């Protein structure tokens, strides 16, 4: 969800570049990137749980328990994807094939979605893979802040207790996840742009 939202915000900022949607979106993106996950998690708990009493702080009994951790993890991911998508789209908006499509009378929406999206997505997909790696690391912070049982918290507890077999198993698991993510990214390259082929 954070990846899709960030990409949509980045596309909108690129289309309306140097206007208020672009400036507002990029200001929020910079704020999201700059704010540490643990500080954002504690701030959200203070505001929405302690002060307003709208959402629970700990536990995983209902969907309401997932809102704050999801916002904490997704904020930085959406911010990075928004900035990177905007930069990628700005690069392709003035390419010759975009001007040719406009000259043929194709609507601006179709030009952006069909021609711009495909050509701008290659570097964005690369960043997407890196952001999934960030989520693995960010889950450690979120699980600790929200007192969730999970692999991230297990890794921290194992380091504190010097439980080396568990540490080795988790490092191996995270490494395999990174390899799988990079494999999926490579497959997506060819799916997005058929001109890319692997020999």
- CATH number, position 21: 1.10.3720.10
Whether residue 197 is contained in a domain is answered as no
Residue 198 is predicted with a pLDDT of 54
CA-closest candidate to residue 11, choices 120, 132, 131: 120
Residue 178 is predicted with a pLDDT of 82
Whether residue 98 is contained in a domain is answered as yes
Whether residue 75 is contained in a domain is answered as yes
CA-closest candidate to residue 11, choices 119, 101, 126, 132: 119
Whether residue 199 is contained in a domain is answered as no
pTM above 0.85, yes or no: no
d(CA 51, CA 41): 14
Whether residue 111 is contained in a domain is answered as yes
Whether residue 91 is contained in a domain is answered as yes
Give the chain's residues under pLDDT 70: 58-60, 137-138, 193-199
Query: What's the domain count of the chain?
Result: 1
Whether residue 59 is contained in a domain is answered as yes
10 Å Cβ neighbour count for 13? 25
Contacts 24+ apart (CB under 8 A), 178-186: 178/133, 178/136, 181/129, 181/132, 181/133, 182/129, 184/129, 185/125, 185/126, 185/128, 185/129
Residue 147 is predicted with a pLDDT of 76
pLDDT single digits (tens) 104-122: 777 777 777 777 777 777 7
Domain residues for the domain of 170 are 2-192
Residue 32 is predicted with a pLDDT of 80
Residue 43 is predicted with a pLDDT of 86
Mean pLDDT of the chain: 79
Whether residue 119 is contained in a domain is answered as yes
């Amino acid at each position: 969800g954070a990846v899709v939202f960030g990409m949509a915000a980045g596309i909108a900022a690129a289309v309306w570049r140097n206007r208020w949607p672009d400036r507002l979106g990029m200001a929020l993106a910079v704020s999201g990137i700059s704010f540490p996950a643990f500080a954002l998690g504690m701030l959200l708990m203070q505001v929405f749980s302690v002060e307003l009493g709208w959402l629970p702080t700990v536990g995983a009994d209902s969907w309401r328990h997932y809102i704050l951790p999801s916002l904490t993890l997704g904020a930085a991911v959406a911010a990075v994807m928004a900035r990177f998508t905007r930069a990628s789209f700005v690069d392709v908006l003035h390419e010759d094939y975009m001007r040719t499509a406009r000259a043929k009378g194709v609507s601006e929406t179709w030009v952006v979605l069909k021609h711009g999206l495909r050509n701008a997505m290659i570097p964005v997909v690369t960043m997407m893979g890196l952001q999934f790696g960030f989520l693995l690391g960010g889950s450690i912070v979120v699980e600790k802040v929200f007192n969730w049982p999970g692999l991230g918290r297990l890794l921290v507890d194992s380091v504190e207790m010097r439980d080396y077999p568990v540490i080795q198993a988790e490092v191996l698991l995270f490494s395999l996840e990174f390899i799988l993510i990079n494999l999926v990214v490579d497959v997506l390259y060819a799916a997005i742009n058929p001109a890319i082929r692997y020999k």
